[in-house]
Amino acid sequence: MTSLPTNPGPKKLGLVIDLDICVGCHACVVNCKEWNTGGYPGPLTDVSAYGADPAGAWLNRVHSFEAGEGCDGRTVHFPKSCLHCEEPACVTVCPTGASYKRSEDGIVLVEEDKCIGCGLCAWACPYGAREMDPGEQVMRKCTLCIDRIYNENIAEEERQPACVRTCPASARHFGDLGDPESEVSRMVADRDGYDLMPEMGYKPTNKYLPPRERKRPNTSTPTAQPLEPIASGGLLGWLDRVLSD
């Protein structure tokens, strides 16, 4: 089995995802696939991509749910990828050391040359964040685009995961969640960001920001005001008698 870093550094790179803003457009999914297929040692496999039963390896997915009923109902789009846990069971169950956690920034990675495709890490991950590549028969997972965020050949402002760079609604944010003064840490503090399934004890680095409370319009029916009596005389009185006959 594989050990976790005995003396991890304070840096914890990860994502903050705003569930109130995500519109489920899947731009993050597509750009993740594009970037990692081009930069990975082996492309993310697609099987029967244009057939009746397509399959393939993806590092990022978006699931959509209908939550609540009636006026309280809403659609929630839930992006899902590796959460780069502080105590990742996917690492400690790995029999070959292929899965490991970096001490310098907390990113969890897979060394594919050591992966034997046993699937134990996928079994141990409660978030369903690992995928067996159907072509290469090795485990794939989000790398936080490590070949991008440390790439000095691209502009500094673009050194972010592909999913963050492409999100048209700015629902995804990247930064150091080990620094309480970082922008992502302040967002989590301000919006009561939360861990996914904290009861598992894996301490995911990625955080989710909950949907905001809806502001409902005032739909109460106004009370009808009683009509004023029509005068018996004058023009209105004459008109009322004519229309009443």
On whether residue 83 sits in a domain, the answer given is: yes
In the chain, what percentage of residues exceed pLDDT 90? 73
At 70-117, the pLDDT tens digits run: 888 889 999 999 999 999 999 999 999 999 999 999 999 999 999 999
pLDDT at 244: 74
- pLDDT value at residue 75: 92
| 87 domain-assigned | yes
Whether residue 95 is contained in a domain is answered as yes
Quote the domain boundaries for residue 39. 13-209
Residue 163 lies in a domain: yes
User: Looking at residue 76, what is its pLDDT?
Assistant: 92
Is 228 part of any domain? no
Of 88, 166, 84, 162, nearest to 120 by C-alpha is 88
pTM of the complete model beyond 0.75: yes
Q: How confident is the model at residue 6 (pLDDT cuts 50, 70, 90)?
A: confident
The answer to which of 39-43, 80-84, 99-103, 137-141 has the lowest mean pLDDT is: 39-43
Residue 219: pLDDT band (50, 70, 90) is: low
Tell me the pLDDT tens digit for each residue of 113-135. 999 999 999 999 999 999 999 98
Sheet order of strands, 13-18 included? 172-176, 13-18, 207-209
The yes-or-no verdict on residue 225 having pLDDT over 90 is no
Q: Which of 192-196, 210-214, 228-232 has the lowest mean pLDDT?
A: 228-232
pLDDT score recorded for residue 230: 65
How many domains, the chain?
1
Report which residue type is found at 235. L
Residue 231: pLDDT band by 50, 70, 90 thresholds?
Answer: low
Residue 22: CB atoms within 10 Å: 23
Counts of helices then strands in the chain (DSSP H, E): 7, 11
Is residue 31 in a domain?
yes
Residue 225 lies in a domain: no
Give the pLDDT of residue 123.
96
Query: Looking at residue 90, which CATH number applies to its domain?
Result: 3.30.70.20
- Nearest-angstrom CA–CA distance, 242 and 21: 62
239 inside domain? no
Q: Who contacts 158 (Cβ-Cβ below 8 Å, separation ≥6)?
A: 148, 165
Cα 204 to the chain's mean position, in Å? 13
